[in-house]
Chains A and B, each alone.
Chain A
Amino acid sequence: MTGHLSISRRKLIVGGLMVAFACSTRARSATSKATGPSTIGGFVRISQEGGISLVMPSVEMGQGVYTAEAALLAEELDVRLDQIAAIAAPPDASLYAQPLFKAQMTGGSTSIRGFWTPLRQAGAAARSMLVAAAAQAWGVHPDECSTKDGTVLHSSTGRVLRYGEVAELAATLPMSEHPKLKSPGDFRIIGKSQRRIDTPVKVNGSAVYGIDVAVDGMKTAAVVISPVDGGKVKSVDETDARKIPGVIDVLHIGDAVAVVGEHYWAARAGVEALNVDWDLGPNAKLTTASIRAEVAKAADEGTPLKALEHGDVEARLRSAAKRLTAEYELPFLAHATMEPINTTVHVRPDGCDIWVGTQTPVVAQKHAARITGLPVDKVTLHNHLIGGGFGRRLQADTIEQAVRFAKQVPYPLKIIWTREQDIRHDRFRPCYLDRLAAGLDEQGRPSVWTHRTTSGTVRRYFDEDGWPDGKLDKDAVDGAWDSPYAFPAIRVDWIRHDPPVKLNWWRGVGPTHNVFVVESFLDELAHTAGQDPITYRRSLLDANPRARAVLDKVADAAGWNMPSEPRTGRGVSLHQNFGTYAALVVEVAVAPSGEISLKKIVAAVDCGIQINPDIVRAQIEGGVLFGLSAALFNGITFDEGRVQQGNFNDYRQLRINETPPIEVHLLNSGERPGGLGEVGTVSAAPALGNAIFAATGVRIRRLPIDRKLLSKRESS
């Protein structure tokens, strides 16, 4: 999901045009109702009245992707962002697959990296067809025409046609094989901080998220789910529930019961009144201690799969002037998106409609088809704005549950989970155990580095046939094998141990975990060598100018060399993931009680060409705080098979009064655009841990941070 992508240019061009071609025929027939819009490619729809809709292949969940993808299309189409409406793509991988996944999926900070060329090509192809149509209408050569803000101009005669006036003709013309793209110097939208197009409706309450869907005849359900994953309903006493005014139905599936009400509150009251007897299944005794013991055992005895090895690792470890080892541990994490899980489904004999916000519409559609027995093309998925994804809505388990319930009733059914269900029945970021060893030479420089991760694989939940034993899941080592540094010898490997807990990707994916480990351990090396953490890192970056540049920038902007007060400190992190380079300095103060306060955050980021610099900044600001929040507060634990956290009181989040000033500095390398949604999150925890070390001398090797380790008495 990360690192240096090498999709050939040719492939991208062909892919982009194929997408556009496929669209042109199919979308045209799909939208041929009455005076429907003319469609050019799957991405551009222009009505005769002049309305311009751009179809967004990626889902908007806060990351600003509607604005950024619209910018790519609009730049080449030559329309302003305030002239267009963005609409969510329907599930159709042949048109809207993310080129980097070859699946219609929004995640892994891939949207702009994958669509950078295809969307500009689609916009340019549409523009050239509109120009050709106008030229034909005027009987002039297309080269004599220009475009501006949704119009075609023939400057020598002063004639003007709006896109809407030529769209119908344009849609019948052949699509150019090689639409000419603007050179960056001519960009009018890309690179400027355009207003976000998704936010006006979000400040007046009119934005429609999945949870807000209202369909004629719709009923609302609340559910109760087996408290232990893998448990089953043994029996249900529904007598009291059915007596509640407004309760309509009680529905069962294997591991959950739904009470349907005229409104949510009746359904909730119905659920409270249910009496369910559970067979808790094989995980009934699961505890965090038992999970950790199994992970440690796997780390001792499992078979490592090699991700990277070069240099004579063993010999260098033996001959090192100094040797360091350390063990790091990270917890399961829930996504806790602000919008709790919800799905609305209407199953009829002839079809099924789903209203939801999902990061994987095609997968959801496929599951619904399987569960209902309907052909895939009879399942219509209406994707919505998403109130936070962070990876949660990459899996369709919740949509499957809703379809299983909804197929038992004739009416449209909306299911809303409680916050407690949203957290307890999440699919979690894996827990990890990492063991590292490094050797230092006489000058304190690292002569060898080894990093072994033990964890489950997330990939098995995304590949139809699971994930075969003995095959490396690169996600588990991303950020470890491809750190910015040059080590004379390095070995990175992974031991697979799938815990009895369902897993999912979480903002930052593999790198969120590995960069914490790498950047913390590197800090340990610098300290052992008696060197400044930034100077030390810099000495390993001779061959990596982009990484060095962000590191220098952050050191300067953060006042790295300024003296600090007692029990305050600055920590740094550096990484290169998702095609972006990021350095972060976090400044903290640690009270004698062990309480941590964040003082200041400074980031320096080189993401190549910035589509919208203000959104870049916003993603870094939010992403860093998201990562800090988890490192400070979050870990999912189990007892008696049950998740012990449930709501924002015990799975607490950073609040505004705990948020320090944040500065984001952007470097203009002009390279290909990199990803951004996860970059800040990846940077956060290691910079925080290193800052705490600087403030207290206590090394944070386990998350979330245990304040007891930081209280004055224990650390002195």
Chain B
Amino acid sequence: MISLKINGRTYSVQAPDDMPLLWVLRDLLNLKGTKFGCGIAQCGACTVHVDGRPVRSCMLSAANVGSREVTTIEAIGQKESGRRIQQAWLDLEVVQCGYCQSGQIMSAAALVERNPSPDDAEIDAAMAGNICRCATYARIRAAIKSASRT
């Protein structure tokens, strides 16, 4: 049994030792907002927060999370930073197909949490691990700036 603290709740799951947090979230806990994109930490679609830091859940085994707090896209709106990012995403109409956007929003929320007004270079550095095949990058940059102003 693995015990996990996710979005403020504690879950116990029966999972193989090497099972990535991504698949525990999606297939055992039915938290499907976190997405599978590449499986090798190349695309960022699976980004969640572990103790507030953005982490690629496809490469982190659930067994190694330990007592750290996991936050997923389903709960990020309960944090002020997450709520502001989600609102900016809608206000600037960032989203196209949307499949990458859970991961984008998680990376962006982590960024503004530790750096309330990032410049272009800081945004690029924090967001370069998140691929968007619809290439919504210009609006992602603008939305992060708009969220950090509000």
Instruction: Tell me if A388 and B97 are in contact (CB < 8 A).
Output: yes
Give the complex CA separation of A626 and B72 in angstroms.
28
Choose one: A387, A418, A618; the contact of B39 (CB below 8 Å): A418
Choose one: B23, B35, B96; the contact of A63 (CB below 8 Å): B96
Q: Looking across the interface, which residue of chain B has its beta carbon closest to that of A650?
A: B42
Could you tell me which residues of chain B, from 128 to 150, have a CB within 8 Å of some CB in chain A?
128, 130-141
Instruction: Tell me if B38 and A647 are in contact (CB < 8 A).
Output: yes
Give the complex CA separation of A529 and B73 in angstroms.
57
Instruction: Tell me if B97 and A387 are in contact (CB < 8 A).
Output: yes
Q: How far is the CB of B91 from chain A (nearest CB, A)?
A: 9
Could you tell me which residues of chain A, from 355 to 386, have a CB within 8 Å of some CB in chain B?
385-386
Whether, in the assembled complex, B110 has its beta carbon less than 8 Å from a beta carbon of chain A, the answer is no
Give the complex CA separation of A340 and B16 in angstroms.
24
Q: Looking across the interface, which residue of chain B has its beta carbon closest to that of A419?
A: B38
B contacts with A: majority SS = loop
Q: With contacts A205-B32, A656-B141 known, is A195 near B93, CB below 8 A?
A: yes
Instruction: Tell me if B136 and A622 are in contact (CB < 8 A).
Output: yes
Give the complex CA separation of A212 and B131 in angstroms.
20
One of A168-176, A452-460, A512-520, A657-665 at the interface: A657-665
Instruction: Tell me if B86 and A203 are in contact (CB < 8 A).
Output: yes
When distances are taken between beta carbons in the complex, the residues of chain A under 8 Å from B37 are: 338-340, 419, 648
Whether, in the assembled complex, B77 has its beta carbon less than 8 Å from a beta carbon of chain A, the answer is yes
Instruction: Tell me if B27 and A263 are in contact (CB < 8 A).
Output: yes
Give the complex CA separation of A340 and B133 in angstroms.
12
Number of A-B contacts (CB under 8 A): 176
Give the complex CA separation of A338 and B134 in angstroms.
8
When distances are taken between beta carbons in the complex, the residues of chain B under 8 Å from A338 are: 35, 37, 43, 45, 97, 99-100, 131-134
One of A91-99, A182-190, A264-272, A472-480 at the interface: A264-272
Give the complex CA separation of A606 and B128 in angstroms.
33
Choose one: A207, A245, A246, A618; the contact of B98 (CB below 8 Å): A207
Whether, in the assembled complex, B6 has its beta carbon less than 8 Å from a beta carbon of chain A, the answer is no
Q: With contacts A621-B139, A622-B134 known, is A62 near B43, CB below 8 A?
A: no
Interface residues on A, range: 35 or more
A contacts with B: majority SS = loop
Could you tell me which residues of chain B, from 74 to 101, have a CB within 8 Å of some CB in chain A?
74, 77, 86, 89-90, 93, 95-101
Q: With contacts A265-B15, A419-B39, A622-B136 known, is A339 near B74, CB below 8 A?
A: no
When distances are taken between beta carbons in the complex, the residues of chain A under 8 Å from B23 are: 263-265
Could you tell me which residues of chain A, from 591 to 611, have a CB within 8 Å of some CB in chain B?
none
When distances are taken between beta carbons in the complex, the residues of chain A under 8 Å from B136 are: 618, 621-622
Instruction: Tell me if B93 and A614 are in contact (CB < 8 A).
Output: yes
Q: With contacts A205-B32, A265-B19, A655-B128 known, is A62 near B135, CB below 8 A?
A: no
Give the complex CA separation of A657 and B138 in angstroms.
10
Q: How far is the CB of B86 from chain A (nearest CB, A)?
A: 5
What residues make up the interface of A, taking CB atoms closer than 8 Å to B? 61-64, 195-196, 198-200, 202-209, 211-212, 214, 220, 245-246, 263-266, 269, 336-340, 385-390, 416, 418-419, 614-615, 618, 621-626, 629, 647-649, 653-657, 659, 661-662
Selected A-B contacts with CB under 8 Å, 8 pairs: A199-B90, A199-B95, A203-B105, A205-B72, A269-B18, A385-B97, A647-B38, A654-B137
A338-B134, A621-B138 are known; give 13 further A-B pairs, CB within 8 A. Answer: A64-B96, A196-B95, A199-B89, A199-B90, A205-B32, A205-B33, A209-B99, A338-B99, A387-B97, A623-B135, A647-B39, A648-B40, A655-B128
